[in-house]
Amino acid sequence: YQATKVPVGEDQRQHLELTRDIVRRFHDIFCKGNQFKKRCKKAGIPSRPTFTDPDPIIMKDGARVMSLTDGTNKMSKSDSNDNSRINVLDPPDVIRNKVKRCKTDAFEGIEWDNPERPEATNLLTIYAAVQPDRTKEDIIEEVKDMNWGQFKPLLADAIINHLEPIQKRYYEVRNDEEELNRILKEGAD
């Protein structure tokens, strides 16, 4: 689809770099020089590069979200335990149950960046990621005196509110076959 920007996690950067290397090599071999331009002109096609050389989009905050069942392991869709992650299309009741059951700790209060509390840091990172207009300081001020029973419903609601427009648009497009084909065709051109 000739994407110029590709959102990837820091741990996926090397895969995008490999793609960029392949694109550049292909263009160096097959898309440069007069011979290529003459063949394109004769065939009546543009002599622009065949593939787009994509740039990575890597978010600084929230780029590495950890598992809901273990705050020291990365959240992954390949984890066999579906409760370890929030899926983009999870319905609100499923999100609430996953958040309600996610691993926390026995410490009082909620704090960020304490190495002894990876689950607290992870849940606060998720909370911040789904509310990009808020600052870390603002969030800490809001939650510092809460316990997990008070914070988890807030987190679930924030995730649900963040995913709602994405899910709504997904189902609008998915349920309209004509629009879906138009979008796919437009992306392929």
One digit per residue, the tens of pLDDT, for the chain of length 189 reads 678 888 887 778 888 899 889 988 887 777 766 666 777 777 777 666 678 888 888 876 655 788 898 888 888 887 888 889 999 999 999 999 999 999 999 888 898 888 999 999 999 999 999 998 999 999 999 998 899 999 999 999 999 999 999 999 999 989 999 988 888 888 777
Secondary structure (3-state) at 173:
helix
99 within 8 A of 155, measured Cβ to Cβ? yes
What global pTM score does this model have?
Answer: 0.74
Using CA atoms, how far apart are residues 162 and 98, in angstroms rounded to an integer?
A: 16
DSSP E strands in 51-187: the ranges are 55-57
